[in-house]
């Protein structure tokens, strides 16, 4: 009689666990046994089985750290595609929360930028801009770390992540109250991240958005804005102090003439601060007023004030 898929799955799981128990009874499980048993287990579409297998490999085997890391990433890679399409289609609060919990479970198996990116997408869809920004930023810091992410994602993937960081960062950081909230991103090895840079591991772009917070209606940086400026200055210097153009933008509140003047004045303030700190590259300025509002992929995710927050921005363009 042919065995049904369900019975085959149950039997396979029982045999797998029995094999581990037998190995464990004689001491640590040999890593060679773990690798051999994994070839069968990884075909089983069940997170509980994977989790128990990983726990045994981590705690009860003689596998070294790199081998455990490789196993964890294989589990993530096997399960992640099943979640990606669901993340793209999720809308309701319960559905978003359930998917976040599943992605949080995946993080227990290792560090993967794509998991953090998807968590950011869920927070963004759920209108939690600050948490979305933090997830996107962590995802980029993982990409920036070549030891954790030796295989660089595609240019399109990096570009989308940077765009999401721009969008959520402009809203979140420019409304921050505490300077500690705008501390620079760093990789897990302690190196500065590329969130404010013109390139991410070789993928270059002409423009980078700068979340510099100004006093409303004035060309004066807030305390939070001053902290952000330090991050921006450090990022520029690490890139060799390139020649740039600083472009100021405003929201549509107020007259066209006043907004144009304010945007230019804010750009001038940034130039003066750069030069005062010894910036060696050429710095040109321009003011666009309200004429070039920020373009959202989905404006409906944000309130009118949040959209205006993104419109009030400074851009650095390579010359």
d(CA 166, CA 316): 12
Q: Are 107 and 120 contacting, i.e. CB atoms less than 8 angstroms apart?
A: no
d(CA 219, CA 264): 9
243-257 residue pLDDT tens:
999 999 999 999 999
Which residue's entry shows tokens 């993967």? 112
More confident call, 260 vs 1: 260
Q: Are 228 and 210 contacting, i.e. CB atoms less than 8 angstroms apart?
A: yes
* DSSP conformation class of 252: S
pLDDT at 2: 37
260: which residues sit within 8 A by CB, 6+ positions away?
A: 287, 288, 289, 291
127's tokens: 């209108």
262-281 residue pLDDT tens:
999 999 999 999 999 999 99
Q: Give the global pTM.
A: 0.87
Classified as helix, coil or strand, 38 is: helix
| Other C-beta atoms lying within 10 Å of the C-beta of residue 88 | 10
39-92 residue pLDDT tens:
877 776 677 888 888 898 999 999 999 899 988 998 898 889 889 989 988 888
């Amino acid at each position: 009689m042919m065995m049904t898929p369900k019975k085959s799955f149950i039997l396979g799981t029982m045999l797998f666990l029995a094999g581990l128990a037998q190995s464990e009874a004689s001491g640590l499980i040999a890593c060679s046994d773990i690798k051999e048993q994994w070839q069968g287990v990884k075909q089983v579409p069940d997170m509980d089985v994977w989790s128990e297998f990983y726990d045994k490999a981590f705690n009860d085997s003689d596998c070294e750290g790199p081998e455990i890391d490789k196993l964890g990433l294989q589990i993530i890679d096997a399960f992640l595609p099943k979640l990606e399409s669901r993340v793209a289609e999720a809308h309701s609060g319960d559905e978003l929360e359930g998917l976040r919990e599943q992605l949080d479970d995946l993080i227990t198996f290792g560090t993967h930028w794509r998991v953090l990116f998807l968590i950011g997408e869920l927070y963004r869809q759920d209108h939690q801009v600050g948490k979305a920004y933090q997830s996107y930023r962590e995802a980029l810091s993982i990409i920036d770390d070549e030891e954790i992410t030796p295989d660089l994602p595609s240019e399109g993937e990096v570009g989308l992540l940077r765009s999401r960081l721009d969008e959520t960062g402009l809203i979140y950081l420019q409304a921050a109250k505490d300077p500690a909230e705008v501390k620079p991103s760093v990789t897990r090895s302690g190196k500065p991240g590329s969130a404010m840079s013109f390139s991410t591991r070789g993928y270059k772009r002409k423009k980078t958005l700068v979340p510099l917070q100004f006093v409303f209606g004035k060309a004066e940086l807030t305390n939070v804005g001053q902290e952000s400026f330090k991050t921006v200055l450090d990022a520029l210097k690490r890139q060799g102090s390139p020649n740039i153009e600083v472009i100021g933008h405003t929201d549509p509140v107020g007259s066209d003439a006043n907004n144009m003047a304010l945007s230019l004045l804010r750009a001038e303030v940034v130039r003066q601060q750069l030069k005062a700190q010894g910036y060696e590259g050429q710095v040109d300025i321009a003011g666009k007023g309200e004429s070039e509002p920020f373009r959202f992929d989905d404006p409906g995710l944000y309130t009118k004030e949040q959209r205006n927050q993104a419109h009030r921005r400074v851009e650095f363009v390579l010359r």
